[in-house]
Structure formats: C-alpha cells, structure tokens
Chains A and B, each alone.
Chain A
Amino acid sequence: MKKFDKKELNKIIILGFLLIICLWLTYYFHFILKTEVIFTHLFYIPILLASLWWARKGIIIAVCLAVMLLVLSLADPLKVPIYTDLIRASMFIVIGTIIGILSEKRYLLEGKLRAYSKNLEQRVEERTSEIRELQEKQKAILDNISDAVVVLDNNLNIIWANSIAASQYQVTLGEKCYQLYKDQKKPCSNCFARKTLADGMVRSSEEESILKDGRRFNFIISCSPIKDLEGKIISVVEVFHDITERKKDQEKLKEYQENLEELVKERTNKLKERTKELKDANLKLQELDRLKSMFIASMSHELRTPLNSIIGFTGIILQGMSGKITEDQRKELTMVKNSSNHLLTLINDVIDVSKIEAGKVELFIEEFNLIDLVQGVKESFKVAADEKNLKLSLEMLKRLIIKSDERRIKQVIMNLVSNAVKFTDRGEIEIKVKKKDDRVKVSVADTGIGIKKEDMEKLFKQFSRIYVEGKPVTEGTGLGLYLSKKIVDLLGGQIEVESQFEKGSMFTFTFPLKYKEVKT
C-alpha cells in the first residue's frame, strides 16, 4: 500500500473534522435535546458518504464509528441495552468492511485506469511527434526537390504547393491549376487532373507552355490520385519536372550539329580547293625543278665554253706555242690561268652540290689502281707546294687495286690536299694510303694553321668558311669539305679530322676496298 500523500492527508483532516462535528452533534442531540438515539445515527450518514468518497479508509472509519457508538452507548444515561449497541457497532463494522473492500477494488481499478490513460496519453504524444517529424521531413523533401509539386482538389483548386512551386511558378493557394499559364481562363483541353480525378490513373507526358510571367516552359507533368481511407479519390497531386534547359540544350546541340555539318562541308570544299592548289603548286614546283636542272646543265655548259678557251689559250701561250713571252707576261698569264682554274672548280662544286641535293649523283664504279691516282694528285700539286716551299711526301703501297668511283675518290683527295696546301705556310704535307682488312685509309696531314675547337663542328657544313680576325682565311666557296663528306658518305666511307690550332691538321677518310651499292 502506498504512503499517504498530501492530497490523502487533506482528506483525512476533512474526515476527522466531519467526525468531530458528528460526535458533537450526536452528543448534543442525544444528551442535551434527549433525541432518540436512532435519530442521532443520521449524523453518521455524511461520514459514511465521505468514507465512500475516500473509500480506501472505509474500514478504519467504520471501526472508529463503531467504537464511538459503543462509548456513547456505555455513557448513555437512558441505558439502552448494551447488545443493541453491539449489534449497531457490528453493523457499522460490516458495512465499513464491505464499503472498504468495494472501495479498495474501485481504487485499484481507478489506479489501473489512470495508468492506462497515462500510457495512452504518452503513446498519443509519441505518435503525434512522430507524425510531426514525418511531416517536416516530407515538407523538407518536397521543398528541396527541383520539381514543383501541387495538390489539387476535385475542383482543380490548388490546395497545397511546395516551395519550388511557389517561388518558381508563382503558385498561390486557392487559384485554379490552369491559371499557372498565361492568359488561360479554362481548364486545358487534355486536362490530366480531371481525368485522374475520374479514373484514378497515373498519367505523365511532356508539355510546353507559356507561364504567367511569359517564360517558355518545357516540362514533364505527372499526375497521380490521392485517395481517402475508403479509396475515394479526393484530390490529385501534380508534379512538374522542368526540362526547359534540357530542351534548349537539345535545340542548341541540333543547331551546332547543323552548323558543324555546314562547317565540315565548307572545310571539305576548302580542302579540295587547297588540294587542287597544292597539286598545281606541286606541278609548278616540278616544272621549276626541271627548269632548275636544265638551268644548271645549260649554265655549266655555257659557262664552261668560254672558260675552255680562256684556260686553253692561256695554256697555249704559256707553253710558248704562240711565240716567246716575257717573264712579266708569264707571271700575269699564270695568274689568269690560276683564276680560271679556280673559277672552274667553283662551277664544278656548285654543280656537284646541286646534284647531291637533288640526289642525282651517279657513281661510276670500276676497278682502278689507287696508287696511280694518288701519285697523279701529288704530281698536280707539286708546283703549288714548291712555290710555298712545302715538302710534299707520300707513303703508300706499290699497288692497290680498288673498286670504287675513281673520279670521286680523286675529287676528295684533291680537295684535302688542296686544303692542306692552302692552309700551310711552312713545313710539310704528308699523304698516306693504307689498307686495313677490306677498307682503305687515306690520310692527309699538314703542319698548317690548324683548326680551332669551335670551328671543328662546322667544318663539314655547307658554305662554312674559316675566319681569322673577321676575314675569311682563304679564297673558296666553302663547299669543298661539305662535298667531300657527301661523296665519302655515298661511297660508304667516313671522313674524320684531328687538329691542333696553329700546329696542323690531319684529315683521314676510309672507304671500302670494294664498293657495295646500298639501296636507299
């Protein structure tokens, strides 16, 4: 049993107070007014009622009343027989007990009921907050999707809209759904909402409309019914999915594609034109190339014809065929002869370069004695070397038959020896010919000015000249070594140089004993 709480204590005080009043009234009526005892018992009725009200303590009250009645009976001056009082007292106890038991039961039942009701209240509260949370969630979701969502009643009035619908499409609650569109006064001819309200089917399609604010609006609309618990359709929900941008992009894409096609066409035409131009240009180039070759051939011929006579007749006069000449005449004519020979070399070099660059050098491969050739070269430089007081020595085998292009080999050796003579003022020039396995090695060493390190790499380049103090060291075209290298390459050989500035240089070239054609 529970302890008394404050409320119960109050009830006890009220009961006690009533009890005292009843006792006093009983006493007063019984002893002062000498009323019948039975009448005085009426005063206990409120007590009994009160104990019914506060029934749990009914037994205690009943016992109290019984004791009080016995005390009153004992003190009764009228001397009512004691057994009647005992009967009354027992009656009170019985009634009190019954009341007590009944009220106890009622109290327990009430307690249960209270607990049930409290539980119920709590559950209701929980459910309510759950529902509220769910509502918030749904609202948040509906407000945050990019689609506009509206709910229409069966008269096509908008009764709910998410925030996108309100902000993007100026939806106001209460207006008709078709009022979203510009200048529209009645439902659309193919109104989905009305159809769905009628048959409960879900519908969806792609539409285009003009909105209230004049914007073009492409969208996918889907329409679904909302039913009440009995399955009756009470409203519809419409979802507007905006595809305006996508539509625009598609249109743009289409436009681009069309443009692209046009562009491709245009470019193709241009390309065709260009190809034709190039073809024409190519033909022109071929023609030019042909003209160039013709020019070189004819130029060399035309230049050489007068040169023939200059060289020839200078030679004739120098040889004294036309009579005796003076020393001065000899000296001057020798200058003419040397210049003419130099001019001839220049012309030949230019022709060779143009041939090499056009890939038109034809080799004439035959067997010949290299020693004879080198001997011949040495002989032809004898005069020049003697003039500069240079020693020209030759170290070689007695006979060396090789298979190569005699004239080209001679051209290279001539070039190297001529350079050596040109760049050497004192000392000697040494030509060596050696055979090593299936290769021939020819070297030309001099004690001339040598080559600076920085000049080495441009040595074999076209038109490269060696400059000292800003002036070319000697006359020439700068084609000699370039040609020599190209020729040696063609013959399957290599050319190398070792040099020490102001000490001298040594050019060495090696080539196969027997030329083997390399098809390119």
Chain B
Amino acid sequence: MKRILVVEDNEINMYLCSRILKSSGHEVIEARSGEEGVELAIKDKPDLILMDIQLPGIDGLEATKRIRESEADGTIPIIALTSYAMTGDREKALSAGCTGYIEKPINPDTFMSEIEKYL
C-alpha cells in the first residue's frame, strides 16, 4: 500500500482517480488546489503525486517547482496529468520537474499499470 497525493480541482476526476487508486489498495490524499498540494506534499511526504496542470491559483507546474524546491533529494515521483489539447504541456511538465505524465482522459484499463511504473 502506498500513499498517493492527488492534486485535482475537478471533483469527478478526483473521485475517479481516488476510486481507481483505492481499489488497487492505495491510500489517497486529496488536494484541490496547487497551494494545498504543495502543503500536503511537504507535510505528508507521499510515495507518489498525481498533479493536474490546470489548477486554480498556482498551477500544477508552479506547484511541482515548489515541491521540488522543498525537497532535499527530489525523489517523490510526480506524475503530471496533461491535457492533449494544450500544446507543450508535457514538455513544460517535464522541465518543471515532473517524473512522467499521463494524458487525460484517464483510462482505467491502463491507468494503474502506468502508475505502477513509478512506484
């Protein structure tokens, strides 16, 4: 069982993610804004972070940067949830310090296998 932080402002997505993760036996920490995400990441030190890019307040990129800045070793895998339409999101996510990315919409068939690569 791992502790996974999901930073996502959309309730449905949040529910979907946590549902899939929980059914695979993981613990889910929920954050609904970038600021909250940074705070919980520093406080709870999760095993993995799922980071939505488009967020109210500071966005996922900024949040990732802040998390990376706070870490001593920078080992928490941060997986960006990117949108297909936004050109350059993936590149931006990787250069902001994300470990990988999963393109939305989330496909339950492959979602867990992709996450497990980083756990």
Contacts and interface: CB of A to CB of B under 8 A. Distances in A.
B19 interface: yes
Contact of B85 (A304, A313, A315, A361): A304
Interface residues of B, number: 23
Nearest to A322: B19
A304 B12 CA distance: 12
A18 B106 CA distance: 170
Contacts of B19: 316, 321
Interface stretch (A80-88, A293-301, A422-430, A473-481): A293-301
B106 A360 contact: no
11 contacts: A300-B83, A308-B12, A309-B16, A311-B107, A311-B108, A312-B20, A312-B106, A316-B23, A319-B108, A321-B20, A351-B84
Interface of A: 296-297, 300-301, 304-305, 307-309, 311-313, 315-316, 318-319, 321, 344, 348, 351, 355, 360-362, 364, 407
Given A300-B83, A301-B85, A308 B13 contact: yes
Nearest to A306: B12
Interface in B1-41: 10, 12-13, 16, 19-20, 23
A344 to B, nearest CB: 7
Nearest to A340: B105
Contacts, number: 72
A300 B84 contact: yes
B73 interface: no
A153 to B, nearest CB: 104
Interface string B78-113: 000001111110110000000000001111110100
A315 B23 CA distance: 13
Contacts of B91: 362, 364
A333 to B, nearest CB: 12
Nearest to A298: B85
A311 B109 CA distance: 10
Contact of B16 (A300, A313, A318): A313
B12 A305 contact: yes
A364 B91 CA distance: 7
A501 B86 CA distance: 40
Contacts of A364: 90-91
